[in-house]
Amino acid sequence: MLDDMGESPRRIKVINFVFILTIFNFIAANAMRMLLTLYALKLGASATVVGILGGLLFLFPLLLSWVVGALVDRRGAVGLLSLGASLACLSLLLIYFSPSIQMFYFAAALNGLALSFFHVTLQALVGAHSTSDDRAKNFANFSVVGSLTGFVGPMLAGLLIDHLGFPITCLFTATLSIVVLVLLFCYGGLLPKAQSQIHSKSSKPLDWMDKGVWIMLLTSGMVQLGYDVFQFYLPIKGHNLNLSASAIGSAMAALAGAALLVRLFLAWLVRRMTGLTLLSIVFSIGAMCYGIMPFATSGLSLFLIAVLFGLGMGIGIPLTVIMMYEDSVAGRAGQILGMRLTANNLVRMGGPMIFGALGTALGLAGVFWMMSFIMVGGVLLARAQR
């Protein structure tokens, strides 16, 4: 970490460059998620198939996030980010040239491989170039940027699909990854070759992860499950209500916009309340929104529930990042964040598959009420830790 005042301008440049890379990478990732879902539904895919596709997006992040975190600590960021952008572009070109469910499976896994490279790397860069005084603010700003991309990506994908069709949307989304490659070629020298030195003797996660880290992994996974299942089922719910792609994209964008708004106040909230208190509030609002979701019968009601859900659950993910980074072992921040993403991606891969199958068997209402009970469990877990 760079702590000298003379290094502050460089730290700021690195953080801003990371935010720019995040914008293009995550707009493409969020657009890909909606594009894949709606394209598959158009081709007649069932909720189970869509769930498998959603799960495949997180297969490689599940398998590789800790490995990538270790590589970031030891090797640096430019090569990992370039590889991720290249794979993301390739996954979209595959869909463009071969729009079939069979190719969608491969493209989803490939896009997830790309995600495994740039997600851990970008988070680790933010943490490594922050001080104890501005870390909460920088992670909050990083989450705001992520919310902005979650707003723009689905909205952009919905508009492009409605007006230009699925193939052109694939090509446009692929160009975003090309922009990332150009930026890395021109300005990648800003990023250091390695972020930190390893101070712990053991390289095995079980040797340096205490009970508190395991509990936070569980809590983080529950937050991720709540957010992702909602994102997964929102387009399906809209499709069942016969809403247009633009209307569904608007609801997805409203979710991200509300999360963006509340994340603007994350650093302020962290200074005034404990993380566990905030997590209790996050899970409580999530439980309520899942409980009322079956009663949404129009685009407006879906939109309003998405806004409320985003305002409540929006700070959950960045909050767990801040809490885990602050408790990380010296020199192993990338690995800690990688382990967190491994746990989260286990949820992200399994959640859509399991709940997609449950949606087919039990119906949407059954899934929403089940998730409401899980969120209540999150409230109890946060209170028990507190």
Give tens-digit pLDDT for 167-217: 999 999 999 999 999 999 888 877 766 544 444 444 454 444 556 666 777
Q: What's the pLDDT tens digit per position in 291-313?
A: 998 888 888 889 999 999 999 88
pLDDT number for residue 1: 38
pLDDT number for residue 180: 93
pLDDT number for residue 195: 45
pLDDT number for residue 45: 81
Percent of the chain with pLDDT strictly greater than 90: 17
Q: Which CATH number belongs to the domain containing residue 178 in this structure?
A: 1.20.1250.20
pLDDT number for residue 199: 46
The two three-digit tokens of residue 21, written as one number? 């890379």
pTM, entire model: 0.69
Asked if residue 200 belongs to a domain, the reply is: no
Asked if residue 191 belongs to a domain, the reply is: no
Cβ(26)–Cβ(149) under 8 Å? yes
pLDDT number for residue 4: 42
pLDDT number for residue 175: 93
Asked if residue 198 belongs to a domain, the reply is: no
DSSP calls for 144-203: HHHHHHHHHHHHHHHHHHHHH-HHHHHHHHHHHHHHHHHHHHHHGGGS-S-S----SS--
Asked if residue 373 belongs to a domain, the reply is: yes
pLDDT number for residue 289: 92
Q: Which domain holds residue 248?
A: 7-186+206-385
DSSP calls for 331-380: T-HHHHHHHHHHHHHHHHHHHHHHHHHHHHHH-HHHHHHHHHHHHHHHHH
Residue numbers in the chain where pLDDT is lower than 70: 1-7, 61-67, 69-70, 72-76, 132, 192-214, 325-353, 355-356, 359-360, 386
Into how many domains does the chain fold?
1
Asked if residue 17 belongs to a domain, the reply is: yes
Asked if residue 192 belongs to a domain, the reply is: no
Asked if residue 197 belongs to a domain, the reply is: no
pLDDT number for residue 304: 93
Cβ(227)–Cβ(33) under 8 Å? no
pLDDT number for residue 170: 92
CA count, 13 A, side-chain hemisphere, 30: 26
pLDDT number for residue 73: 62
Residue 102 CB partners (closer than 8 Å, separation 6+):
none
